[in-house]
């Protein structure tokens, strides 16, 4: 039996949360400015500052802030012209928002299985799912590992499809040196409280094309024509971000390099402390062509390990460690259920995957504590 790296004794019990935001920069100062100036709604200087700063961060000419990451996805699809009856390719293993945004457009998400190494959609399986109704592909950089964009972009070019990157979980990740969110036609981000940077609730659309960015702004603001007040050529939405959210976002963006670096440090601690049980749990990999954001450090229990995943999570919770299961794949959820589904890789990852605590406040001792208990429970 392999000895646990740092056996945690009962008296060293800790509470380790899976995610936790941190506000130790200019957050209070900027939010206070919103209150003092009374600019608390969706007009105010922080919105443009956050949009411009985020566009620079993603190396794209335009960024449009939204009230959350799901509306950012919906806006991205509207900006790409998705219409009722269209089909959009989506990985089955994702957070439900990626599929829901397609449904909001009256279009149909068509699912693709994952490839086992990175858990992202498998480029080799995309073309078989393309029909005359297919308009585009949503790529999700799951848990922070970039999808393999080159073959996906080549397929998109060949079939004249748009590519939307759902980078909600991958702030600052890179694919062949290029930052995610700027690799496809449009990128989207979430700033929910558990993401790498947060605005409480919030999102962003990153765009290359100026006309597309203008269209997305129109849809965000009820569909109002920008040069004609109260004239609405299209049915739009109120998906605006508030100045308060943007104030938080700008302060968080000022810290993002430090946050990103800490996520990678946490991952290196896990890799070290979990290396003795690498034959029992598959640790996340980082393909040589990318920089993983390690939003969450997600491990997959090998089939040979007899432990039940959910029982293991309950045992970890009992010692103060918060974890979460990998998402259910879309094809098992009632709105998207497929009776004849065949997505074996996503099914296995979903059933055997656990995301471990990964956030800016974690110390090496926290990680050793989690790894120690995971090792003990896997070795029983
Ligand atoms: C968090 C998340 C979203 C949506 O984010 P909200 O801001 O909560 O609406 C979309 N896609 C993925 C993959 C996510 O993880």
Predicted confidence (pLDDT) per residue in 65-106, tens digit: 999 999 999 999 999 999 999 999 999 999 999 999 999 999
Query: Measuring from atom 14 of ligand 1, which residue has the nearest CA?
Result: 168
Ligand 1 atom showing the smallest separation from residue 169 Cα: 15
Mutate to test the pocket of ligand 1, among 169, 191, 324 (most ligand atoms within 8 A of CB): 169
Ligand 1 atom showing the smallest separation from residue 194 Cα: 1
Show the ligand 1 pocket: residues with CB < 6 angstroms: 68-70, 94-95, 97-98, 140, 166, 168-169, 190, 192, 203
Distance between Cα 61 and ligand 1 center (Å)? 23
Nearest to 122 by CA among 345, 282, 355: 345
Query: Measuring from atom 4 of ligand 1, which residue has the nearest CA?
Result: 69
Ligand 1 atom showing the smallest separation from residue 73 Cα: 10
Distance between Cα 181 and ligand 1 center (Å)? 14
Distance between Cα 97 and ligand 1 center (Å)? 6
pLDDT on residue 6: 56
Q: Residue 137 — left, alpha, or beta (φ > 0 → left; ψ -120 to 50 → alpha)?
A: beta
| C-alpha–C-alpha distance, residues 330 and 1, integer Å | 38
Q: Which two tokens stand for residue 243?
A: 């100045």
Query: Measuring from atom 6 of ligand 1, which residue has the nearest CA?
Result: 69
Distance between Cα 190 and ligand 1 center (Å)? 5
* Residue spans per domain, the chain: 27-113+120-253, 256-378
Q: Which two tokens stand for residue 301?
A: 């229990």
pLDDT on residue 5: 52
pLDDT on residue 226: 81
Distance between Cα 327 and ligand 1 center (Å)? 12
Mutate to test the pocket of ligand 1, among 68, 92, 97, 199 (most ligand atoms within 8 A of CB): 97
Ligand 1 atom showing the smallest separation from residue 190 Cα: 7
Query: Mind listing the pLDDT tens digit of every residue in the chain (380 residues)?
Result: 444 455 555 448 999 999 999 999 999 999 999 999 999 999 999 999 999 999 999 999 999 999 999 999 999 999 999 999 999 999 999 999 999 999 999 999 999 999 999 999 999 999 999 999 999 999 999 999 999 999 999 999 999 999 999 999 999 999 999 999 999 999 999 999 999 999 999 999 999 999 999 999 999 999 998 888 999 999 999 999 999 999 999 999 999 999 999 999 999 999 999 999 999 999 999 999 999 999 999 999 998 888 899 999 999 999 999 999 999 999 999 999 999 999 999 999 999 999 999 999 999 999 999 999 999 999 87
Mutate to test the pocket of ligand 1, among 21, 65, 70 (most ligand atoms within 8 A of CB): 70
Kindly report, residue by residue over 244-300, the tens digit of the pLDDT.
999 999 999 999 999 999 999 999 999 999 999 999 999 999 999 999 999 999 999
Burial class (CB in 10 A: 0-12, 13-18, 19+), 239: buried
| C-alpha–C-alpha distance, residues 17 and 14, integer Å | 10
**CATH class of the region 256-378:** alpha beta
Ligand 1 atom showing the smallest separation from residue 98 Cα: 11
Distance between Cα 72 and ligand 1 center (Å)? 9
Distance between Cα 276 and ligand 1 center (Å)? 33
Distance between Cα 174 and ligand 1 center (Å)? 19
Query: Measuring from atom 5 of ligand 1, which residue has the nearest CA?
Result: 69
pLDDT on residue 380: 79
- The distance from CA 227 to its chain's CA centroid, rounded to whole angstroms, is 35
Mutate to test the pocket of ligand 1, among 66, 69, 166, 248 (most ligand atoms within 8 A of CB): 69
**CATH class of the region 27-113+120-253:** alpha beta
């Amino acid at each position: 039996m392999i000895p646990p790296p740092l056996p945690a004794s009962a008296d060293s019990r800790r509470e380790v949360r899976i995610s936790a935001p941190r506000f130790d920069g200019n957050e209070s100062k900027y939010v206070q400015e919103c209150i003092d100036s009374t600019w608390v709604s969706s007009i105010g200087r922080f919105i443009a500052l956050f949009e411009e700063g985020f566009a620079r961060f993603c190396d794209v000419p335009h960024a449009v802030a939204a009230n959350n990451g799901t509306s950012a996805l919906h806006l991205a699809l509207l900006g790409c012209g998705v219409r009722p009856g269209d089909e959009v390719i989506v990985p089955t293993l994702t957070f439900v928002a990626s599929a829901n945004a397609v449904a909001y457009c009256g279009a149909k998400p068509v699912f693709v299985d994952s490839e086992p190494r990175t858990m992202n959609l498998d480029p080799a399986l995309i073309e078989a799912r393309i029909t005359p109704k297919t308009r585009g592909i949503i790529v999700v950089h799951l848990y922070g590992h970039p999808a393999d964009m080159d073959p996906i972009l080549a397929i998109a070019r060949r079939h004249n499809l748009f590519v939307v990157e759902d980078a909600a979980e991958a702030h600052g990740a890179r694919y062949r040196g290029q930052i995610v969110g700027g690799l496809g036609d449009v990128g989207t981000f979430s700033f929910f409280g558990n993401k790498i940077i947060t605005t409480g609730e919030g999102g962003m659309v990153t765009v290359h094309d100026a006309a597309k960015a203008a269209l997305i702004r129109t849809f965000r603001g009820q569909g109002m024509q920008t040069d004609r007040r109260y004239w609405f050529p299209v049915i739009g939405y109120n998906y605006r971000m508030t100045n308060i959210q943007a104030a938080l976002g700008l302060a968080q963006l000022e810290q993002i390099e430090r946050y990103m670096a800490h996520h990678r440090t946490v991952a290196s601690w896990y890799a070290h402390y979990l290396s003795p049980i690498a034959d029992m749990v598959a640790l996340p990999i980082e393909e040589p062509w990318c920089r993983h954001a390690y939003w969450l450090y997600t491990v997959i229990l090998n089939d040979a390990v007899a432990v039940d995943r959910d029982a293991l999570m309950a045992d970890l919770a009992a010692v103060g460690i918060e974890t979460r299961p990998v998402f259910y794949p879309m094809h098992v959820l009632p709105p998207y259920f497929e009776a004849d589904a065949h997505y074996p890789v996503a099914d296995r990852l979903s059933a055997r995957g656990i995301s471990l605590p990964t956030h800016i406040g974690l110390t090496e001792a926290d990680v050793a504590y989690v790894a120690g208990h995971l090792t003990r429970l896997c070795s029983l």
